[in-house]
Amino acid sequence: MFDSIIKGGRWFDGTGAPSAVRHLGITDGKVAQISETPLDETGCARVVDATGKWVVPGMIDIHTHYDVEVLLDPSLSESVRHGVTTVLLGSCSLSTVHVDGEVAGDLFGRVEAIPRRHVVRAIEENKSWHSAAEYAEALDALPLGPNVASFIGHSDIRAAVMGLDRATRKEIKPSDDEITAMAAKLTEALDAGFLGMSSQRLLFDKLDGEVCRSRTLPSTYSTRSERARLNKILRSRGRALQGGPDVNRSDTMIAMAAGSIGLFRKPLKVSLLSAADIKAIPGVAKIFPLMAKAVNGLRGDFRWQHLPVPFEVYSDGIDLPIFEEFGSGAAALHLSNHIDDQLHLMQDEDYRRAFRKDYDKKYGPRVWHRDFFDADIVDCPDPTVIGKTFGQVGVDRGGVHPVDAFLDLVVEHGSKLRWRTTISNHRPEVLNTLAADPGVQLGFSDAGAHLRNMAFYNFGLRLLRRVADAERAGKPFMTIEHAVHRITGELADWYGIDAGHLRVGDRADAVVIDPAHLDDTLDAYAENPIPEFDNLSRMVNRNDETVTAVFVAGRYVFGDGTSDAALGTERTGRFLRAN
């Protein structure tokens, strides 16, 4: 007798092996039988007919910032509804293991665009742990929707050991005792089953709050000896370093990648942010595969993280992290808590002159293409500008510089001015090359962060659509089996977690997909209020005809656009420990 049966679907086991039509029987949260012939349905509480559909392992999202949201709404339903059954927390050097609410608010609020007050409240009201082991136990006690695994954040442990103020001052170096304390916290986290450590060296991620506002993250102030000590622990334990190099300093990228090399020592698992086809620097996309091949050819274990869909971003006024990468943009965001001062700054001619100079600088490392002719206005109290670019608005107003056209509209309408642009991953042929490259991991969704800026919760479905479309067009760049493996079993195996496979004896995390609806509906833009964040409207995708059933540990939790009562009320997911 089975608890659930998924019958007649095209089954993928997550290893990349050939798919086949099979019937799956699920018992006690695991796959009990996979059969070529129909299973006995007697006494089975739920039978899902998957005829003509795909049955795949639950997808894995390797880069999220759900650290705050999981405490307030453990269902994490926005990912589950798109077939994601395992999410990784603790990215970009940020975690909530050791810091208190105020420091967590400073770390997450501006960098990840999660309103600071909600971060502070979530930690202060829910924190019951004082160590990584207790944190893992606390998460495991929640009614988790998907499975959760975590990195320990370098900025988290550095701020906890040194204090946020000391940890973010260039002139202050950690003492030997403080480095030893950081090493102890990392070791304790690895003992508790954490996947490894995340560390950030990117200099346009800025702190929120007032005390240390606009300083960069604590991990960016780390010393060479500090990083070497922590990496040595990761290397010895076979755990991963998730890193973010500084885009303006190629030496940080080379150093972090080279740290993986294992010619004369055990290789260090390194996953760096991020491989992308950046509009501003078209040639850089060729460098990522070459660097991975070179490092791994020297016995490294190195991967790039990559979002396998166009990197489209939205902004309310000037509230977008890409402005942090140059001085005048960062100056405006520094005043985002003081709107009157910010508006006054944006009207100042000296400031505008500096902004125009930054905007017109088209060479050198950067993320944003800085082209207001490639930035569409999607909403504004002034209907005459909707559908136009800021550049066109400037032309219409008598040849006004695009920067002035943009700032004029921001000053006049503030956050009611909403606009969009695509900053990378805009060329399908380059996307296909990166998606198929063995030196690239598919993920980097940033789920749970940038709630008004980005929506990549369904990146896995959009990848499968592109693979299926290419196959139908007779121009395949990878098989569907390989694509499923890339977003399931391959990731689980590299990070060492019990997920991503759908074979007899495996955890029954399964997703039923209707390939007939791997279509343009996956790109549909929608918004959904988040009650836990005072109904802040989150950018989302709605493609409820694509995913027809989701199981986590054998429990049906979502299907056909509706969450089951179990999602977020009963514990279906678990805290997954490495190895």
Question: Starting at the edge strand that comes first in sequence, how are the strands of the sheet with 147-150 ordered?
Answer: 59-61, 84-89, 147-150
Alpha carbon of 109 to those of 190, 192, 367, 449: distances in Å?
27, 27, 21, 9
Alpha carbon of 233 to those of 168, 251, 256, 260, 502: distances in Å?
23, 23, 15, 13, 33
Q: What is the pLDDT of residues 512-569, one digit of tens each?
A: 999 999 999 999 889 999 999 999 999 998 888 999 999 999 999 999 899 999 999 9
Of 563, 561, 551, the residue nearest 9 (C-alpha): 551
Identify the weakest region by mean pLDDT among 280-284, 372-376, 574-578: 280-284
Helices 349-360 & 402-413 angle (0-180, nearest 10):
130
Give the CA angle between residues 560, 565, 566 to the nearest 5°.
105
Of 516, 437, 441, 444, the residue nearest 477 (C-alpha): 437
The residue-averaged pLDDT of 408-429 equals 97
Q: What is the pLDDT of residues 69-105, one digit of tens each?
A: 999 999 999 999 999 999 999 999 999 999 999 999 9
The residue-averaged pLDDT of 235-240 equals 97
Of 61, 95, 99, the residue nearest 78 (C-alpha): 61
What whole-number distance in Å separates Cα of residue 151 and Cα of residue 193?
9
Q: What is the pLDDT of residues 344-363, one digit of tens each?
A: 999 999 999 999 999 999 88
Residue 396: left (phi > 0), alpha (psi -120 to 50), or beta? alpha
Q: Report pLDDT for 362.
A: 80
Asked whether the predicted pLDDT for residue 230 surpasses 90, the reply is: yes
Asked whether the predicted pLDDT for residue 385 surpasses 90, the reply is: yes
Chain mean pLDDT for the chain:
96
Q: What is the pLDDT of residues 45-67, one digit of tens each?
A: 999 999 999 999 999 999 999 99
Q: Please list the residue range(s) of the chain that carry CATH number 3.20.20.140.
A: 58-312+425-495
The residue-averaged pLDDT of 199-222 equals 96
Asked whether the predicted pLDDT for residue 249 surpasses 90, the reply is: no
Which architecture does CATH list for 58-312+425-495? Alpha-Beta Barrel (3.20)
* Neighbour-count burial of 210, counting CB atoms closer than 10 A to its CB (0-12 exposed, 13-18 middle, 19+ buried): exposed
Q: What is the pLDDT of residues 110-158, one digit of tens each?
A: 999 999 999 999 999 999 999 999 999 999 999 999 999 999 999 999 9
Please spell the DSSP secondary structure of 82-94, one letter per residue: TTEEEEEE--TT-
The residue-averaged pLDDT of 183-191 equals 98
Per-residue pLDDT band for 364 (boundaries 50, 70, 90) equals: confident
Q: Report pLDDT for 363.
A: 81
Question: How many residues in the chain?
Answer: 579
Q: Report pLDDT for 247.
A: 79
> SS3 for 528?
strand
> SS3 for 120?
helix
Per-residue pLDDT band for 248 (boundaries 50, 70, 90) equals: confident
Q: Report pLDDT for 560.
A: 87
Q: Report pLDDT for 68.
A: 98
What whole-number distance in Å separates Cα of residue 181 and Cα of residue 175?
10
Q: Report pLDDT for 356.
A: 97
